[in-house]
């Protein structure tokens, strides 16, 4: 991993404990190619969320929106790190079932709101949250599949952290053209299990990048 921030031994142990908790969550392996639902593994999610803490964006008592939540690994991780509430937005009904199971397993129901909605819908309830986290579709199967996610961030005028293909240069262009501040602050290997029929190997890897975008 090539993240921007280095951590002390004590913080590293907390990250390891978080990674263990997140790794125990039930996964969701969708066969819908258009959704491109690749789950983040527990180690990567824990390290990435810890960077959000280091930025000062993810802090005790904050409210978080997780767009394209999947099994909820990012939002659940935010709750375990002290977020007051997380709104999970997920269009796949089966993923929402698994997400609700994971939330219940950890006793986080009172601090969670799961919305089975498409990101394109105008009524997604994220206006009162402090930050947005998202691992959107990368657009490998459906061109510009991530556009509704980026547009939702823009429309809601919230600081957001985005995981995407490390070569996704359009993210910077999209937000810089709107007068936002953009920082790409890290990269890491991203595991790709053989979820879809076009995958030839049982497990593969690609490279992910991490962006922070914020309105000025």
Could you count the other beta carbons within 10 Å of the beta carbon of residue 183?
A: 13
Q: What is the pLDDT of residue 115?
A: 94
Structure confidence at residue 196 (pLDDT) = 45
What's the chain's length in residues? 216
Task: Give me the numbers of helices (H) and strands (E) for the chain, helices first please.
Answer: 6, 8
Domains of the chain listed by start with CATH number: 8-27+35-214 (3.40.50.150)
8 A C-beta contact, residue 1 and residue 189: yes
Under 8 Å CB-to-CB from 198, ≥6 apart: which residues?
A: 33
Nearest to 79 by CA among 55, 46, 57, 112: 112
Q: How high is the pLDDT of residue 198?
A: 47
Residue 202 class from Cβ within 10 Å (0-12 exposed, 13-18 middle, 19+ buried)?
Answer: exposed
The reported pLDDT for the residue numbered 10 is 53
pLDDT score recorded for residue 33:
58
pLDDT per residue rounded down to tens, the chain (216 residues): 545 555 554 567 788 999 999 999 998 866 565 556 677 999 999 999 999 999 999 999 999 999 999 999 999 999 999 999 999 999 999 999 999 999 999 999 999 999 999 988 766 777 789 999 999 998 766 678 899 999 999 999 999 999 999 999 999 999 999 999 999 999 999 987 655 444 455 557 899 999 999 999
Widest distance between CA atoms in the chain: 44
Label residue 157 left, alpha or beta by phi (over 0 means left) and psi (-120 to 50 means alpha): left
What is residue 144's predicted lDDT score, i.e. its pLDDT? 84
| pLDDT for res 9 | 46
Six-digit token string for 176: 């810089």
């Amino acid at each position: 991993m090539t993240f921007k921030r280095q951590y002390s031994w004590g913080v590293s142990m907390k990250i390891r404990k978080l990674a263990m908790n997140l790794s125990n969550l039930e996964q969701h392996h969708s066969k819908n190619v258009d959704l491109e639902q690749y789950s983040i593994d527990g180690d990567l999610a824990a390290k990435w969320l810890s960077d959000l803490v280091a930025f000062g964006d993810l802090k005790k008592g904050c409210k978080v929106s997780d767009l394209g939540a999947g099994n909820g690994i990012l939002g659940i991780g935010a709750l375990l790190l002290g977020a007051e509430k997380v709104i999970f937005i997920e269009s796949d009904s089966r993923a929402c079932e698994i997400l609700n199971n994971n939330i219940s397993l950890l006793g986080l129901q009172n601090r969670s709101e799961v919305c089975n909605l498409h990101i394109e819908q105008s009524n997604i309830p994220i206006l009162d949250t402090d930050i947005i986290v998202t691992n959107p579709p990368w657009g490998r199967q459906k061109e510009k599949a991530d556009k509704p996610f980026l547009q939702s961030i823009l429309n809601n005028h919230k600081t957001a952290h985005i995981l995407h293909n490390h070569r996704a240069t359009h993210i910077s262009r999209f937000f810089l053209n709107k007068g936002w501040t953009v920082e790409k602050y890290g990269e890491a290997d991203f595991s790709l299990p053989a979820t879809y029929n076009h995958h030839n190997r049982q497990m593969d890897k690609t490279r992910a990048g991490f962006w922070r975008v914020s309105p000025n």
